[in-house]
Amino acid sequence: MKMLKIPEPTVVRLSLYSRFLNQASSKGIDIISSDEIGSAVGIPSAQVRKDLSYFGEFGIRGVGYRVRELCSQVDKLLCVNQVWPVVIIGAGHLGLAMSGYRGLQDRGFDVIALFDANPAKQGELPNGLPVLPMEKLAETVREKDIRIGIITVPSASAQPVAETLIEAGITAIINFAPTVLNVPSEVECRNIDLTVNLEVLSFNLGMRG
Amino acid sequence: MKMLKIPEPTVVRLSLYSRFLNQASSKGIDIISSDEIGSAVGIPSAQVRKDLSYFGEFGIRGVGYRVRELCSQVDKLLCVNQVWPVVIIGAGHLGLAMSGYRGLQDRGFDVIALFDANPAKQGELPNGLPVLPMEKLAETVREKDIRIGIITVPSASAQPVAETLIEAGITAIINFAPTVLNVPSEVECRNIDLTVNLEVLSFNLGMRG
DNA sequence: GACTGTGAAGCCATTCACAGCT
DNA sequence: AGCTGTGAATGGCTTCACAGTC
């Protein structure tokens, strides 16, 4: 085991393993093999073992992995054994959808508040979450020590919003706007771009016939 | 130029180039260099040229690329110079957000209808789109020759919904549910998984301090 | 016999660097 | 001089295959 410089694809798969292991764990499964994990998430078993081997030896040769143990180890690696407060910028359809998404809470991401520049959107949501004006952002981020921001504003406002977030102290961004954001290298930004995904499908459909 | 077997990362970037080129084109820019394209989408210029070179020679040595021409070439490669009808399964927050998303229409993806198993959700949306019962799916897909489906149902229903879609004739799926879908190899499925993305951020935040 | 952990090999994408045009 | 197109070099992820352990 060598540690340091983990391939990003490995981290992505770790998240898939974690989800599956949590399910298996709550089903009461005790022992599981790399082969079972792999086929559950659609990945070869050698890859599963290699991924885990970056971080240590979690299994028992000839036997497999103890589910509860592996599960908590992987969760610790991903830092999802803690609560991460997040803010959502943009209280449109998408922002509201995200704020009501149970999967976030379940995985330890806690939406503290939404923010929207439009006063008409501000107030309190049915689920109790506040929608605040952008002016309150820096204060909230500081007080709750928030690192993660989710951008769901229209494309044209995404870059200025990102800058406001970074100014406020955010260092990790999920961007749903169909734009490549320009951020300093110490800020990590991941784009979730529906259009790009559709166009990859479109390309591949075109390749066939 | 060798054609055949295009790396997927290349296709993803093609979509970014296309978006940028369309913007540049409507700004009236005539000529652009691989360097300008690259810095706009955050990619080295050599990569831009290599990506394009898989498909032909679109530029003029010593000069650059003619924007309008390159734009239409790239759009043709991505097959976004045509209209793709799509269906959305799940009329929850996320499905509604998608159905109202202007970016789809702009890029030639035409939402024909939403589908939802819950009769209370069925009817007509404010924007005029119908929300139909699942039973109407196969008929709609056949009549409108639809290839692409977007799944926005909860995780537990995603697999059966995917099967229904495939049964109905869909061959390309965008899946927003946090599950790995089991689909035959001739069906292409792309997952858009917020949780995974957040957990990659969480992992990287943990690596720092 | 079954399954993990891991060097080594293989494969694929990115980057380099330069010849070829304008 | 400036910029594209591309073979060659590099780097990195995945797959293989087998020694090690239970």
Q: Sort B12 into a burial class: Cβ within 10 Å, 0-12 / 13-18 / 19+.
A: middle
- Sorted by sequence, the CB contacts under 8 Å of residue A11 that are 6+ apart come out as A78, B199, B200, B203, B204
Is the CB of B172 less than 8 angstroms away from the CB of A204? yes
Q: What is the pLDDT of residues B133-173, one digit of tens each?
A: 999 999 999 999 999 999 999 999 999 999 999 999 999 99
Q: What is the pLDDT of residue B208?
A: 79
Q: Please say if the pLDDT value at position B118 is more than 80.
A: yes
Q: State the pairing for strand pair A172-175/A188-191.
A: parallel
Q: From residues 56-75 of A, which are strand C contacts by CB within 7 A?
A: 57-65
Domains present along chain A, CATH in parentheses: 8-77 (1.10.10.10), 84-196 (3.40.50.720)
Q: Please say if the pLDDT value at position B209 is more than 70.
A: no
Q: What is the pLDDT of residues B85-108, one digit of tens each?
A: 999 999 999 999 999 998 999 999
Read off the pLDDT of each residue in B50-60 and give the average, rounded to a whole number.
98
Q: Which residues of A touch B201 (CB under 8 A)?
A: 148, 172, 174, 188, 190
For residue B77, the surrounding DSSP H or E stretch is: helix B67-77
Model confidence at B3, pLDDT cuts 50, 70, 90, reads low
Q: What is the pLDDT of residue A191?
A: 98
Q: How many whole angstroms separate alpha carbon B147 and alpha carbon A92?
A: 28
Share of residues in chain B with pLDDT > 90 (%): 95
**């990619």: which residue's tokens?**
B43
Q: What is the pLDDT of residue A208?
A: 79
Q: How many whole angstroms separate alpha carbon A164 and alpha carbon A159?
A: 9
Is the CB of B92 less than 8 angstroms away from the CB of A97? yes
Q: What is the pLDDT of residue B143?
A: 97
Q: How many whole angstroms separate alpha carbon B66 and alpha carbon B59?
A: 7
Q: What is the pLDDT of residues B28-52, one digit of tens each?
A: 999 999 999 999 999 999 999 999 9
Q: How many whole angstroms separate alpha carbon A150 and alpha carbon A132?
A: 15
Biggest alpha carbon–alpha carbon distance for chain B: 62
Q: Can you say which residues of B are annotated as belonging to the binding site? A: 90-95
**């459909």: which residue's tokens?**
A205
Q: What is the pLDDT of residues A33-76, one digit of tens each?
A: 999 999 999 999 999 999 999 999 999 999 999 999 999 999 99
For residue A110, the surrounding DSSP H or E stretch is: strand A109-115
Q: What is the pLDDT of residues A73-93, one digit of tens each?
A: 999 999 999 999 999 999 999
Model confidence at B60, pLDDT cuts 50, 70, 90, reads very high
Q: Please say if the pLDDT value at position B2 is more than 70.
A: no
Contact B140, B132 (CB under 8 A): yes
Nearest to B202 among A80, A98, A178 (CB): A80
Q: How many whole angstroms separate alpha carbon B48 and alpha carbon A68?
A: 46
Read off the pLDDT of each residue in B115-135 and give the average, rounded to a whole number.
97
Amino acid found at A80? V
Read off the pLDDT of each residue in B186-196 and give the average, rounded to a whole number.
97
Q: How many whole angstroms separate alpha carbon B26 and alpha carbon B141?
A: 34
3 state SS of A170: coil
B77/chain A closest Cα distance in angstroms: 7
Q: Which residues of A touch B8 (CB under 8 A)?
A: 200
B145 interfacial to chain A (CB closer than 8 Å) = no
Contact A71, A18 (CB under 8 A): yes
Q: How many whole angstroms separate alpha carbon B141 and alpha carbon B139?
A: 6
Helix axes A34-41, A45-53, angle to 10 degrees: 110
How many Cβ atoms from other residues are within 10 Å of residue B152's Cβ? 26
Contact B92, B152 (CB under 8 A): yes
Model confidence at B111, pLDDT cuts 50, 70, 90, reads very high
Contact B195, B178 (CB under 8 A): yes
How is residue A31 written in tokens? 């022992």
A34 touches strand C (CB under 7 A): yes
A53 interfacial to chain B (CB closer than 8 Å) = no
Q: What is the pLDDT of residue A4?
A: 74
Share of residues in chain A with pLDDT > 70 (%): 98
Q: What is the pLDDT of residue B107?
A: 96
Read off the pLDDT of each residue in A126-132 and give the average, rounded to a whole number.
96
